[in-house]
Amino acid sequence: MTVLQIDHLSKNYGAIKALNNVSFAVPKGTVFGILGPNGSGKTTLLGIVMDILKATEGTFSWDGQTASNEVRKKIGTLLETPNFYHYMSAEDNLKIAASIKGRGMEDIDHVLRLVNLDQRKNSKFSTFSLGMKQRLAIASTLLGDPDVLVFDEPTNGLDPAGIAEIRELIKELNKKGKTIIMASHILDEVEKVCTHVAIIQKGVLKTVGSVKEVMNTDGTSVNAGTTLIEIAANDNEALQNLIGSLHYISDLTMDENGLSFTCPDTIQSTDINQYCFEKGIVLSRLNVKRKSLETRFLEITGTKSEK
């Protein structure tokens, strides 16, 4: 079942195309990452589907319905830094948020437990860490028990501990049945938490699908990921000839440290080790690295890492 259907969305600011003919669907029950560098059009896209911005062209629908107040009640949204009162407690801030939303007053204790802030509900917002502040913001989106949550850069500005907190919270909310749509430029976090991803560059959709589909580069199966394997032996030239004969091997290279190649992640390292041993070559090195989403992102967009 599709939660969000986007068809040929474009957004122009004069001669600048912030979005250019973007189409994709968000399946129900997924953690769907909209991935791209700053300025790629992620926030513009979320602004349009939340009916904050108007598209130049194209349409979108939520559960097959066009945007309306009734539809938006089923969506919890965190698109910018929430305006909480620093001198008020977490509970009182949520009471104000529920009053503004017109729903969710009875949910306050429950959502505070969900984000693990029930023990701090009487503490002033000013005493919270950045991670706690972001968790309270997410608690606000949960008021009224929406089916879908939309987050724009939910870990932006957080330290590693705060990022880990939000990551685990998103996973838990997804386990409870929430569909989560999140825009991010932090590739490592998207890979750890998302089930599906759309990659956008300069307003253009580059690829979309499950993380496994997006990671696949060898054409063997849409459900196959890719693994990077590094090996070495006393005679690396003989090893190169042996490994190069395998039909599922690609990107085979050799340097002073040994060989590296990619293969479907259905191939186990033990299979490689046993094959070499049976052919009379004992491996002195065997290192397995699953190709990261960051590597795949750079392949798709043709950009260089900023690291």
pLDDT tens readout for residues 7-55: 999 999 999 999 999 999 999 999 999 988 888 899 999 999 998 899 9
Look up residue 237 and give its two tokens. Answer: 């030239």
Of 298, 98, 93, 48, the residue nearest 188 (C-alpha): 298
How many CB atoms are located within 10 Å of the residue 98 CB? 19
Q: Is residue 221 part of a domain?
A: no
Integer CA distances (angstroms), 117 to 92, 94, 108, 132, 279, in order: 13, 12, 11, 8, 59
Do 150 and 255 fall into the same domain?
Answer: no
pLDDT at 292: 64
Of 239, 245, 244, the residue nearest 280 (C-alpha): 239
Do 206 and 231 fall into the same domain?
Answer: no
Report pLDDT digits (tens) over 231-275: 999 999 999 999 999 988 888 999 988 999 988 877 888 889 999
Do 58 and 171 fall into the same domain?
Answer: yes
Q: Is residue 300 part of a domain?
A: no
What residues contact residue 278 under an 8 Å CB cut-off, 6+ apart? none
Domain end point (choices 215, 241, 257): 215
Do 167 and 230 fall into the same domain?
Answer: no
Q: Is residue 306 part of a domain?
A: no
| Distance separating alpha carbons of residues 202 and 302, to the nearest angstrom | 12
Report pLDDT digits (tens) over 109-163: 999 998 999 999 999 999 999 889 999 999 999 999 999 999 998 888 788 888 8
Do 208 and 187 fall into the same domain?
Answer: yes
**Which residue range(s) make up the domain with 245?**
226-290
What residues contact residue 217 under an 8 Å CB cut-off, 6+ apart? 226, 262, 291, 296, 299
| Distance separating alpha carbons of residues 205 and 108, to the nearest angstrom | 38
For residue 263, list its beta bridge partners.
227
Do 209 and 236 fall into the same domain?
Answer: no
Q: Is residue 239 part of a domain?
A: yes
Please report, to the nearest 10 degrees, the dihedral formed by the alpha carbons of residues 249, 255, 258, 263 taken in order.
-20
Of 121, 164, 152, the residue nearest 139 (C-alpha): 121
| Distance separating alpha carbons of residues 132 and 125, to the nearest angstrom | 9
| Distance separating alpha carbons of residues 171 and 162, to the nearest angstrom | 14
Q: Is residue 139 part of a domain?
A: yes
- The total number of structural domains that make up the chain: 2
